[in-house]
Structure 1
Amino acid sequence: MWKGFGGQQSEPVRVPDAEAVAAKLAKVNVSDRERLQMLECFEKSDIAWFWATDAQNRLTYLSPKALAQFTTEREVIGEPLASVFKTVNVEHDETETKPISYMVSSRTSFVEQPVQLVNEAGSAGTGKWWELTGRAQFDKKQDFIGYRGIARDITDIYEEQLNASKLAEFDSLTGLANRHRMQRRLETTLNAYRIEKRSCALVMMDLDRFKQVNDTLGHPAGDELLRQVSQRLQSIAPGGAEIGRLGGDEFQLIIPDMDDRGRLGEIANRMIQMISQPYSVEGSRAIIGTSVGIAIAPYDGIMPAELVKAADLALYAAKGGGRGQFRFYSNDLKENADDRREIEEDLRDAIHAGELEVHYQPQVGTKDHKVRGFEALVRWNHPEHGPISPATFVPIAEDSNLIEELGALVLRQACKDAAQWPGDLRVSVNVSARQFLNEELPNLVEKALQESGLEPRQLELEITETVFMGDMGTTDAMFAQLKKLGVKLALDDFGTGFSSLSYLSSAPFDKIKIDQSFVRGCTDENHSNHAIITAIASLARALGMATTAEGVEALDELEIIAGLHVDMVQGFIFSRAMPQDALLEKLGSGELLFEPVGPAKHRAERRTLLRKIGVVHEDHHYTAMLRDLSRTGARIEGLLDVPVGTPLVLDLGEGQIVVCVVRRSQDATQGVEFETPLVSNGAGGLCTRHRVSPYMLAAAGMPLQALPKGHHLAAVAAAGGGSGPQSRPQFMQVDIGAGSSRAG
């Protein structure tokens, strides 16, 4: 027995049995072969594939079936993983997806990451989507040696989710983003831009008179019209804008990094012009319009709901201003919207309570000044607010579906009153497009005639050109029914809408009314309105129709109109609209002549502008009165003896700051020239292109919010470090009020 060192007895050394070792090795080899066979079978089954990279993240292995999905000419093995795959977001939301190059460079593991195969040109255009799972591998020294992972083809699943996402986020009719997607995009954009102090414009629009086309031509035609509208919008929208259809005839645009109101006004005008061009829909000609409301973050709203409400109010104001217009949001619009809602509620009550009156304006022969008839005009003397203009409450009636009820009231009252007039005087009653489309209109007219006893030939229905936008068959049928009753038909506001000689030659009109917009300026030899009136009067005579010129106010206008062979005149030059009792008193005396009374010459309407503004010179703030305002300058009063050439800064309110130079100065009145011209505000007024940013005001210590009312130059100066020692003021401020002699 072997004796070990130290005299201790050692354990016997066991010599391995050669046969046992061979059996064990054979068993291991069998196990490895089975494992390899299983992995190979797994790869071939297309359940999943294997992939691997080296330490430089170059692809070193990819299952054969996976390799087969690339073009045979491409050597994928050896390429960087990031040049083979591009990460995608299978949820299609706005959350950022890290590129695969970032993930592998940071050596983080990832699970079921959707990727798209990149083609040889370096873009994701193969139409194949995979799902990668990878785990970073390290050797015993913890040195990175590459990735090992599995891949799975998810093309079918991805495309199914893509289609489902498209259905969930895009309008199936137009292909535009739907309300859900637009809400999410706006929220995401505003949240990011609030941090980055960027701006974003929100444009709201809906179609004017779309419902009429939908009702007359049918819903399939309405759908086709919406598709054509969406195509036009996509062709004119600025780059980077997201366009959505919110439902019905409502559309929305999100325009990132846009706060230039001059540029936005141009975009809105182009949209209005493009949308208003005629459409060919199922063989019919359709003409619609659009109104546009614009709000800009952060000036008009910080949060999404706030900005949407501001854009809605601007759109509401555009529609209330006569449609086919745009409006920017301002703080006054909320008060105006509240007033409109109150007027709508009160108007509904007024109609039912009989508070509305019908007054009558004479239509007088141009040559003999003898009255031929009267136009019925509705008037409303509100018990609390006094007289409310029809220009205010009639559009509200149209928007709130009260126009048919209001129109029926005026028709019945006009027939009843006209039956008391002597002779064969005619009464003209306006019929809205909505009334005209109602198949009950002939029955309503017939009943009004029967109840009043008025002869049908004494009733004239004034119809606007908008009735021709719908189905011509329906329109012609309505004309035939009305003419069968024996009433007269007049085409109102000719030339201001969608004039067409084709319908003039076929529609059974007895009269054409020349809109007052053509009367204005007809005395100017260089103005085209003179020629337009001549053409309309000649056309009417050729078609056997009479003509009436509306809105004549001055003697020189009356002289011109009479010389152009217009048959009748209506306007303040002869009389304002009068109530029935005053009219009966005049007619009862046998006086059928109206003498013209008015200014000798027409004067262009002048708008009086009078409001307080802030003025800054150096580090001093003054208050002045703004008297006149144009695109390039203004007249201000309130600072005494300001030298010509003095630079000033005007605070027009609501963040509108204007840099200017004094060009004329006399006593306390200065004429200033703007460094940057103003732009249209869409409401006939002017505004600055840019405004003081709420981010700047927040830097001065104000809360981050939409621009409040008032003047903000003091806060701007504080933000710019202008709170230090001040110099002595150079100008004396004088009190110039509205009653000043200079106010003319």
Structure 2
Amino acid sequence: MSASSGDAHGSVQSSQTGTELGKLSIPMSVHRYAIEASANAMIITRAEPPHFIIEYVNPAFERITGYRAAEVIGRSCNFLQGDDGDQAGIDEIRLALREQRAGNAVLRNYRKDGTLFWNHLFIAPVRGSDGAVSHFVASQYDISQAKQLESELLHLAHHDELTGLPNRALLRDRLLHAIACARRDGSRMWVAFVSLDRFKVINDSFGHGGGDSFLKVIAERLHAVVRGADTVARWRSDEFAILMSDQHEGGLGTAALERIMTAVSVPISYEGQEVVLTCSIGVSGYPDDGPGVDTLLERADIAAFHAKNDGRNCFRFHTADVNQKARARLRIEADLRLALERDEFVLHYQPQIDLGSGRITGVEALVRWQHPSRGLVGPVEFIGIAEETGLIVPIGNWVLRTACLQNRQWQQEGLPHVRVAVNLSARQFVCANLAESVGAILSEIGLAPQDLELELTESLVMRDVERGIGVLRALKHLGVSIAVDDFGTGYSSLAYLKRLPIDVLKIDRSFVMDIGSDDGDAIAASIIGLAHNLKLKVVAEGVESVEQLDYLRVHRCDQVQGYYFSRPVPAPAFAELLCVDGGHIIP
């Protein structure tokens, strides 16, 4: 058969002989025009192996591939695959041609300009009047758009929408593969959890839109700092997971972790500000820390938690000791959730003494946990967990109400009036109705506002100064006193300090302990002078010696508290202190 257009049309006519369609009284010109009008590419080839030479292509073929009919007639169809011949679908088509039967496959083809398009190819044999196969007719359906959509959906199913990084599902798949390879090769691999420190402050300061911008920057940096064979995935809102193979003589060199921390801490410019983020990293390794995906992920997460507990901006490897601490923490958390309803919390009270009169004029309420099996548990062991779980809000509310009730009871018993100081947590401070809640408690109990002092840490107030000022003003409007605790350990500026509606600065115990050294003396004296210049009272906490007391008295510190006078004691013991000589502790 010639390669002319007329011959091709003839082949179509002959192809219909012996078919049901050929029995219909439809002119063959209609068949020809139908093929030429088809939106799908149609090809007719000889049934002669190995090349199956093209004899006809329709206009849709020319439009889809960019090749003119004259450029392809007389050639094999193989040129459409270019150099991409390693396709499973090609084997299926070759088998169908060899067996002279119908077949179909999805193939990657390439246009004349080299661009890829996907086509679903259907071939069928054309038999003559004698039943022998003389030609094959092929139809190509361009499914490039469907493949593009499939690719996008697959990407969305396995990647984080915000950062474009692999998501948890893809990380788990790659981790399964990495474990299998490490088991086969006798090698090791590592999972590093990268948890951004205090990211909630970013969201509070810049909104979630700003937080998303920071996360995208961090994602790009993490991807850039690891090796091409490693996987960086987004695990949770502000946490990333990195899958790494051996990097340093059969282990994971700390230099790799330090590179990650350095990349995260590079300042980020946002809305005219330079913001520095840090991260805490926890690392688990196969096979040392577990044989499976879930175990490795869990232990890397635990190690990251301990990195945060150890001061943040550091990394920790999982060890048996870390695992034991994690189990202990889970037990404490479970018990802590029941402690309020079981009425297991108690308050101890530490007196604050006025250095001018020597009398007890204030008292700080400090929470303790009377655990049913562990005995009296100090706040260091549970306050951090309460903060993380959100339990600090109901616990803090209980402390506030109980301290106010106790102070009112002392007053009703005729004891000297004192002002009770209660610490506010970060979670309480950001509650929208804080001032209203405090006011309601005072009104319900009948305690005068001037008999309550609320203590906040310096760093807590400075996180969002403008909002903090608004909250403090609302509290001051109630008539309560405001103290800034641990002063000197945070990052206050004098410009902001002057604007804060506060009454008291508390000198951190670390500076009181240093009294007697040149630096310690200078810092304590400076804080006292600064406070007095701002018309604020000063309380020194952690006083434990007569030398510290004498120094603070000489430098006109207003009040002191510490073990030199009394440890925190239960309410009845504090009432006894008030009864002794009208509460005079210092002669």
Equivalent of residue 379 in structure 2, options 390, 395, 400: 390
1:242-269, Cα deviation, whole Å (9 max, x unpaired):
3332343343222333443633552565
Alignment counterpart, residue 493 of structure 1, candidates 476, 486, 498 = 486
- Determine which of 573, 580, 590 is the counterpart of 2:571: 580
Q: Counterpart of 1:457 in 2: which secondary structure?
A: helix
Q: Which runs of structure 2 are paired with 1:289-368 in the superposition (5 Å)?
A: 291-321=280-310, 326-365=315-354
Counterpart position of 2:221: 235
Distance 2:299 2:356 in 1: 53
Q: CA separation of 1:547/1:280 partners in 2, compared to 1, >3 Å: closer, same or farther?
A: farther
Distance 1:429 1:518 in 2: 22
| Alignment match of 1:222 (pick from 208, 224, 232) | 208
Question: Aligned in 2, Cα 1:330/1:427: closer, same or farther, shift over 3 Å?
Answer: same
Compute the displacement of 1:358 (Å): 0.8
Give the match for residue 637 of structure 1. none
Would the alpha carbon gap of residues 260 and 593 (structure 1) be closer, same or farther in structure 2, given more than 3 Å must change?
farther
Partner Cα distance (1:536, 1:278) in 2: 33
Indicate if the aligned counterparts of 2:421 and 2:455 stay in contact, CA closer than 8 A.
yes
Q: Paired residue for 2:455, among 443, 447, 462?
A: 462
Name the structure 2 match of 1:195: 184
Q: Which residue in 2 is equivalent to 1:112?
A: 106
In the alignment, the residues of structure 1 paired with residue 207 and residue 319 of structure 2 have an alpha-carbon distance, to the nearest angstrom, of 37
Contact kept? 1:426, 1:458, Cα under 8 Å: yes
| Equivalent residue letter for 1:492 | D
Asked if the contact 1:85–1:118 (Cα under 8 Å) also holds between the matched residues in 2, the reply is no
1:47 maps to which residue? 41
Summarize the Cα distance change of 1:177–1:579 in structure 2 as closer, same or farther, 3 Å threshold.
same
Aligned equivalent of 2:155: 166
CA gap 1:371/1:46 in 2 versus in 1, 3 angstroms: same
Change (3 A) 1:68 1:380: same
Amino acid of the structure 2 residue aligned with 1:582:
A
1:550 and 2:541 aligned: yes
Bigger shift: 30-39 or 399-408? 30-39
SS of structure 2 residue aligned to 1:352: coil
Secondary structure of 1:589 counterpart: helix
- Read off the aligned partner of 2:156 and give its amino acid letter: L
Structure 1 residues 439 and 32, CA, compared in 2 at 3 Å: closer, same or farther? closer
Q: CA deviation at 1:174?
A: 2.9
Give the counterpart letter for 1:418 in structure 2.
N
Write the letter of the residue equivalent to 2:509: Q
Pairing of 1:33-44 with structure 2 (within 5 A): 34-35=10-11
* 3-state SS of paired residue (2:162): coil
| CA distance 1:273–1:212, change in 2 (3 Å) | closer
SS, match of residue 176 in structure 1? coil
Relative distance call for 1:224 and 1:243 in structure 2 (3 A) is farther
Kept after mapping to 1: 8 A contact 2:120/2:142: no
SS at match of 1:313: helix
**TM-score (structure 1 length as normaliser):** 0.58
Structure 1 residues 604-639: Cα deviation after superposition (integer angstroms, max 9, x where no partner): xxxxxxxxxxxxxxxxxxxxxxxxxxxxxxxxxxxx
Sort the Cα spacing of 1:83 and 1:477 in 2 relative to 1 into closer, same or farther, 3 A. same
Opposite residue 252 of structure 2, the aligned amino acid is D
For the 8 Å contact 1:207–1:289, the answer to whether it is kept is yes
Which amino acid in 2 is paired with 1:34?
Answer: G
Write the distance in 2 (CA, Å) between the matches of 1:463 and 1:438.
14
User: Aligned partners of 2:543, 2:207: CA distance in 1, in Å?
Assistant: 42
- The aligned residue for residue 675 of structure 1 is none
Q: What TM-score results when the alignment is normalised by the length of structure 2?
A: 0.72
| Maintained 8 Å contact 1:294/1:314 | yes
- SS of residue paired to 1:300: coil
Amino acid at match of 1:112: V
Aligned 1:246-645 pairs, distance under 5 A: 246-258=235-247, 259-260=251-252, 262-263=254-255, 265-267=257-259, 269-270=261-262, 273=265, 280=270, 291-321=280-310, 326-365=315-354, 371-419=360-408, 420=410, 422-465=415-458, 467-468=460-461, 474-497=467-490, 499-519=492-512, 523-525=516-518, 533=524, 535-553=526-544, 566-590=557-581, 592=583, 594=585
Question: What's the CA shift for 1:581?
Answer: 1.4
1:563 Cα deviation after fit: 6.6
Q: Is the 8 A contact 2:416 2:578 kept in 1?
A: no
Specify the alignment match of 1:654 in structure 2.
none
Going from structure 1 to structure 2, the CA distance change for 1:588 and 1:29 (only over 3 Å counts) comes to closer
Against the structure 1 CA distance between its residues 534 and 261, is the aligned structure 2 distance closer, same or farther, given a 3 Å change threshold?
farther
Deviation readout 1:257-284 (Å, 9 max, x if unpaired): 344363355256547745xx78857x99
Q: Deviations over 1:174-206 (max 9, x none)?
A: 333222222222222222233233333222244
**Corresponding residue pairs, total:** 521
SS in 1 for 2:190: strand
Aligned mates of 1:578, 1:434 — CA distance in 2 = 27
Distance 1:116 1:568 in 2: 85
Q: How many angstroms does 1:577 deviate by? A: 1.1
Structure 2, unaligned runs of 5 or more: 14-31, 46-50, 69-74, 97-103, 124-137
Q: What is the one-letter code of the residue matched to 2:254?
A: G
After superposition, residues 712-723 of structure 1 pair within 5 angstroms as none
Contact 2:545 2:564 in 1 (8 A): yes
Measured in 2, the distance between the counterparts of 1:184 and 1:403 equals 38
Return closer, same or farther for 1:452/1:493 CA change in 2, 3 Å cut-off: same
Matched letter for residue 572 of structure 1: Y
Question: CA offsets, 1:37-77, max 9 Å, x none?
Answer: 989x77996627899xxxxx9xx99986677489xxxxxx9
* 2:100 aligned residue: none
- Please, which runs of 5 or more residues in structure 1 have no aligned partner? 1-24, 52-56, 71-76, 88-98, 120-125, 136-148, 597-744
- Residue 330 and residue 489 in structure 1: after superposition, are their counterparts in 2 closer, same or farther (change >3 A)? same
Is the 1:82–1:100 contact (alpha carbons within 8 Å) kept by the matching residues of 2? Answer: no
Q: CA shift at 1:375, angstroms?
A: 1.4
1:734 equivalent in structure 2: none
- Residue 403 (structure 1) shift: 1.0
Shift of residue 564, structure 1, vs aligned partner = 6.3
Distance 2:338 2:11 in 1: 87
CA RMSD of aligned residues (A): 4.9
Q: Retained in 2: the 8 A contact 1:206–1:251?
A: yes
| Identity in percent | 31
In structure 1, the residue corresponding to 2:171 is in which secondary structure? Answer: helix
Distance 1:531 1:405 in 2: 40
CA contact under 8 A between 2:462 and 2:468: conserved in structure 1? Answer: no
Structure 1 residue 393: deviation in Å?
1.1
**Aligned pair in 2 of structure 1 residues 242, 524: CA closer, same or farther (>3 Å)?**
farther
Partner-residue secondary structure (3-state), 1:378: strand
Specify which structure has the higher proportion of helix.
2
Residues 1:118 and 1:459: Cα distance change in structure 2 (over 3 Å)? farther
Matched AA of 1:454: L
Q: Match of 2:216, as an amino acid?
A: S
Whole-Å separation in 2 of the counterparts to 1:565 and 1:290: 42
SS at 1:590's partner residue? helix
Change (3 A) 1:175 1:332: same
Q: Which amino acid aligns with 1:436?
A: F
Q: Shift of the alpha carbon at 1:286?
A: 8.8
Counterpart amino acid of residue 198 in structure 1 = S
Give me the whole-angstrom Cα distance separating, in 2, the residues matched to 1:548 and 1:574: 14
